[in-house]
Amino acid sequence: MAMPLTRRRVSPATLHNTLLGLLFCGPWIIGLLAFRAYPIAMAFWYSFTDYHGMMAPNFIGFQNYAHILDDPDVGNSIQNTLTYTAMAIPAGIITALGIAIMLNTKMRALPFYRTLFFLPILVPDVALSIVWLQMFNPQFGLVNAVIEGLARIIFGVQIAGPGWLANVVWAKPTLVLLNVWLIGQPMIIYLAALQDVPQDLLDAAAVDGANWFQRLTAVTVPMVTPVIFYQLVTGLIGALQLFTQPFVITGGTGTPAQSMMFYAMQLYREAFENFDMGQAEAMAWLLFLAVLILSFLVFWSSNRWVYYGGEERK
């Protein structure tokens, strides 16, 4: 026999199964290579070129990357994106966890409330943005009508509500508010995690005299840190790529005073308005690197604060 005896022989059945398996996976593998791997690789190549979509790309080394770093518009969009991320992530986690904790009480009609808080994420982003634009209209919108009405009825004072999306200071917080409203999915995951918090730990803490708040901070929250960690990472990735809502709300212009011009919008502008594909690809790769580094930092820090049941706390 030609085959050395030491080499494990693949039985015809295994070979058959493997080939069959690959055949079934084939369309997916081809799709992954053609529609993911290939564009990603080409984007990397184009990021080193002067490329406008039709004419042959022209290799220019690191010029695109260098240009990004000294373009004040890109700088502004980075600042906006980081500010938004710093506000949106804690706000999202605290609200989603808070509502999940409230819903974790043994209340009647729990499925109803779960559905209620989950519903907003079923609204398409574009429709949602338009509705918010109307609701948060400073002068004629529902939100200021409610705020100003409450002030008038309860406190008897005439106040003017904030400028919301029209105001430089308020625009980003309004966008954070919009995304806090969309906490349905994380809330459901927190709820599942909360229901896994061992009752005996809570009972033991209660016996030791811990009040509701102490049990929350010392037992419940540490037990759900793996989920918080997961939400932090996915939230970070999502926030840094924020696009649809501010694009629709400002018509791609980033007003007021460019405070709503986010990194992904600037990238879109470079690619599809200015046709500077090379620059846009370079921006995309830098975004990828930023997400990678930030995710890595979160992973690195997770040793210190994420607690998986059964481990010793470090």
Positions in the binding site for another protein (CB under 8 A): 50, 52-55, 71-73, 101-102, 105-108, 130, 133-134, 137-140, 142, 145-146, 149-150, 152-153, 158, 160, 163-168, 202-203, 206-207, 211-212, 215, 247-258, 269, 272-276
Residue 240 CB, nearest distance to another protein (Å)? 22
DSSP string, 129-141: HHHHHHHT-TTTS
d(CA 100, CA 84): 24
Based on CB atoms, which residue is closest to another protein, 196 or 203?
A: 203
d(CA 11, CA 16): 9
Residue from 244, 302, 263, 38 nearest 126 by CA: 244
Residue from 223, 177, 178, 217 nearest 199 by CA: 223
Q: For 193, phi and psi rounded to 5 degrees? A: -65, -40
Based on CB atoms, which residue is closest to another protein, 188 or 206?
A: 206
Residue 263 CB, nearest distance to another protein (Å)? 16
Residue from 181, 279, 294, 281 nearest 240 by CA: 294
Residue 234 CB, nearest distance to another protein (Å)? 27
d(CA 308, CA 228): 12
Based on CB atoms, which residue is closest to another protein, 85 or 259?
A: 259
What DSSP designation does 4 have? -
Based on CB atoms, which residue is closest to another protein, 1 or 207?
A: 207
Residue 58 CB, nearest distance to another protein (Å)? 10
Is the separation of the CB atoms in 234 and 145 below 8 Å?
Answer: no
Residue 296 CB, nearest distance to another protein (Å)? 33
Residue 130 CB, nearest distance to another protein (Å)? 4
Q: Please, how many CA atoms are within 13 Å of residue 140, restricted to the half-sphere of its CB? A: 2
Residue 219 CB, nearest distance to another protein (Å)? 12
Based on CB atoms, which residue is closest to another protein, 172 or 215?
A: 215
Based on CB atoms, which residue is closest to another protein, 179 or 250?
A: 250
What DSSP designation does 252 have? T
Tell the residue number behind the tokens 């069959």, with chain if given.
20
DSSP string, 37-61: IHHHHHHHHHTTEE--SSSPPEE-T
Q: Which token pair is 165?
A: 């999306």
Based on CB atoms, which residue is closest to another protein, 22 or 69?
A: 69
Residue 225 CB, nearest distance to another protein (Å)? 21
Based on CB atoms, which residue is closest to another protein, 17 or 139?
A: 139
- Give every CB contact of residue 283 below 8 A, 6+ residues apart in sequence: 68, 74, 263, 266, 267, 270
